[in-house]
Structure 1
Amino acid sequence: MCSHYQAVKERERYIRHFGVEPPAEPGKFDVWPGYAASFIHRPREADLGDEAVPEREALSGVFGLIPHWATDTKIGRQTFNARSETVASKPSFRDAWNHAQHCIIPVDAFYEPDWRNGKAVATRIASENGEPLGIAGLWSSWKSAKGVLHSFTMLTINADGHELMGRFHKPVDEKRMVVILPTDSYDAWLKAKPEQSMDFMRQYPTGQLLAGADVPAQDSFIP
């Protein structure tokens, strides 16, 4: 499961791929649980027919979903990934799932541990064509005395049979992968109703990802 990723740093690249301005305070670009980073959602007002409201909006939030009932933010250290098989029933995630609080997490690359040599080797995974990746997630808002704090989590699925993602995690552990959305399904995911959410929980094609030494340096992705 993904606990470490690189956010999309270049503003123009972010806009070109995701069709929205990044937030004024995008947060960290080397992201771990508890760090602030950007996510993209669909404003609720967009469904009311107001042409002044954009279809997509980028916000800054904490990586690790903080449910509205939490008493503090510590829970976010354990809620950075949500298993699609249990997301509808887990107290930490079920409200966001049942209310279709869908989001997209903009990612340049993410990291998983390769255990094939007997110890964990952090391995960078990125798009084969050098474009950013949009990972399906859920978002939430948490109110405190200091104001409203947004947060988000990445959705994950079983990775059995996936030629690339099957390399990662300990041999005795279940193979998992984040849900990477095809570019042409971004709006469909953001608009999807709760009963449609599971339709997007699919493995991303092996041939469209590169890992480790096969991944070009990040700077070579920037035109």
Structure 2
Amino acid sequence: MCGRFVVASVGSELVGVLRVDLEGDDLPEPSYNVAPTAPVAIVLDSAKTEPPTRRLETARWGLVPSWAKDVSIGARAFNARSEELEDKPMFRKALEKRRAIVPATGYYEWKNVDGTKIPHYIHPADGSPLFMAGLYEWWKDPQIEDEADPARWVLSFTILTRDSIGHLGSIHDRMPLFVDPDHADAWLDPTTDNVRDVLDAAIDAAPAVARTLDDHVVAKAVGNVRNNSPELIDPVD
């Protein structure tokens, strides 16, 4: 499960190795306590051009499928179990053509210790960006008739998860589906017909990334979404 994460930098500083072609306007500011429904910068390959254009765009965290009546459904779809995607109507179509990468500095997870939930900050040991596999969708607001109104279309996403491995399993039984930069092109490619192979390769590669991650206990202040400062990721005794 991934319900909170950190994006301490934005733009090319965060996604340089992914070779983004276009960066969207008004990308979100850095955040040390990103929560579901918040705006987040994601990477996607747009199939509207040939070859596809790699874009860094602002999206709402919590997938809103095209058939949804309103965006509220997204609040319950901020994570998706990678082993169930093909069986879930909400995620099946996005898996085929609309895969994304969610870049982050790290993420939070809560460990249950004798009934008390202790927050941990999990992050790459070398300070490099962390890439999480995601799916995205475009939703058209039926209440907005003006086609020129930018608010008419909502871009949203979900973060994929899988069983935890190694020391991360001692914190929580689920972890994000991490994407190795070498696998990013295959994951983002909207033209591939081998979706099952791409997903299996991502699931198989994620443990190698997980083994490079460090974690430490942080203050319980991170549990309040109104708290948002660099001190949230500082270790505590």
Deviation of 1:89 (Å): 1.5
2:169 aligned with 1:166: yes
Structure-2 change in CA distance of 1:15 and 1:177 (3 Å): closer
Q: Tell me the alpha carbon deviations over residues 2-51 of structure 1, each in whole angstroms, 9 at most, x when there is no partner.
A: 010112424452243332254322225231111111100111034x24xx
2:83 is paired with a residue of what secondary structure? coil
Match of 2:223 in 1: none
Q: How does 1:101-112 map to 2 (within 5 A)?
A: 101-112=98-109
2:37 aligned with 1:40: no
Q: TM-score under structure 1 normalisation?
A: 0.83
CA distance in 1 between partners of 2:81 and 2:177 (Å): 10
Q: Could you tell me which amino acid in structure 2 is paired with residue 73 of structure 1?
A: V
Q: When you count helix as a share of all residues, which structure comes out higher?
A: 2
Match of 2:92 in 1: 94
2:110 is paired with a residue of what secondary structure? strand
Match of 1:172 in 2: none
Which aligned runs of 4 or more in structure 1 are off by greater than 4 angstroms? none
The answer to whether the 8 Å contact 1:181/1:204 transfers is no
Q: Could you tell me which amino acid in structure 1 is paired with residue 158 of structure 2?
A: T
Cα RMSD of the aligned pairs, angstroms, is 2.5
Unpaired segments of 5 or more residues in structure 2? 145-150, 219-230
Q: How does 1:129-208 map to 2 (within 5 A)?
A: 129-144=126-141, 145=144, 146-159=151-164, 162-169=165-172, 175-191=173-189, 192-193=192-193, 194-196=195-197, 197-202=199-204, 203-205=206-208, 206-208=210-212
Unpaired segments of 5 or more residues in structure 1? 170-174
Identity rate, percent: 26
Q: 1:31 aligns with which of 31, 34, 39?
A: 34
Q: Tell me the alpha carbon deviations over residues 102-158 of structure 1, each in whole angstroms, 9 at most, x when there is no partner.
A: 100011010110113531111110011110111011000000024110001111111
Q: Could you tell me which amino acid in structure 2 is paired with residue 136 of structure 1?
A: A
Q: TM-score under structure 2 normalisation?
A: 0.78
Q: Could you tell me which amino acid in structure 2 is paired with residue 91 of structure 1?
A: P
Q: 1:65 aligns with which of 63, 69, 86?
A: 63
